[in-house]
């Protein structure tokens, strides 16, 4: 006798209790959120105005500890305090950049390989005008779909990610008023 596989469907149930009460009832850990979080998609438009880079399609990745920016032709100054590199914006324009080195550290990539990377710090502007300081490692991301990755250290305390959506904060045009030099799409 052949068994027919069963299909189970989860149906959400409306609950009239606060999140804290529900967590206590279910025996789950609960920490009161300190501030509201912005809902962002798995990809968002970002500008780095201090480096003259805009727009960039950035992947949000809560699994990655640090953030990363695509960089080629990376060269450290003799004293190791500054770095020059070349990157590209969404339109393919090559942009030469120079920044102060914040630190160098070994970073393990998603493939498992650890490599020493140079970290810089700069201002990031997201579509819609949200601005924050961000620490970025410089890496060749030419084989990746997005030239920038925003990791959990940059996301923590500000954002929640909707993995089914992209560009929830707005399109490239919503980035333009906040980042000079952004071309219309």
Who's near 137: CB < 8 A, 6+ residues apart?
Answer: 66, 67, 68, 69, 105, 107, 117, 118, 119
Q: Using alpha carbons, list the distances in angstroms from residue 161 to 71, 90, 150, 152, 168.
A: 26, 22, 11, 10, 10
pLDDT in tens, 40-77: 999 999 999 999 998 999 999 988 999 999 999 999 99
Greatest mean pLDDT among 134-143, 151-160, 166-175 lies in: 134-143
For the cut 80, the answer to whether the pLDDT of residue 19 exceeds it is no
For the cut 70, the answer to whether the pLDDT of residue 127 exceeds it is yes
Domain annotation for the chain: domains and CATH numbers: 35-178 (2.40.70.10)
Kindly report the average pLDDT of the chain as a whole number.
83
Decide which of 182 and 133 is more confident.
133
- Buried residues in 55-70 as b, exposed as e (16+ CB within 10 A): bbbbbbbeebebbbbb
Q: What is the pLDDT, as a whole number, of residue 128?
A: 79
């Amino acid at each position: 006798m052949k068994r027919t596989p069963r299909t189970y469907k989860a149906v959400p149930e409306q609950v009239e209790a606060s999140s804290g009460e529900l967590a206590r009832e279910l025996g789950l850990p609960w920490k009161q959120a300190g501030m509201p979080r912005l809902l962002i998609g798995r990809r968002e438009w970002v500008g780095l105005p201090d480096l003259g880079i805009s727009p960039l399609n950035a992947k949000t990745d809560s699994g990655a500890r640090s953030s990363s920016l695509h960089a080629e032709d990376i060269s450290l100054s003799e004293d190791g305090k500054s770095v020059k590199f070349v990157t590209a914006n969404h339109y393919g324009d090559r942009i030469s950049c120079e920044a102060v080195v914040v630190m160098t550290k070994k970073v393990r990539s998603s493939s498992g390989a650890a490599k020493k990377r140079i970290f810089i710090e700069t201002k990031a502007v997201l579509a819609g005008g949200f601005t924050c300081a961000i620490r970025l490692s410089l890496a060749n991301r030419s084989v990746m779909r997005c030239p920038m990755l925003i990791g959990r250290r940059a996301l923590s305390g500000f954002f929640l990610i909707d993995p089914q959506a992209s560009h929830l904060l707005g399109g490239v045009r919503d980035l333009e008023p906040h980042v000079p030099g952004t071309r219309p799409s």
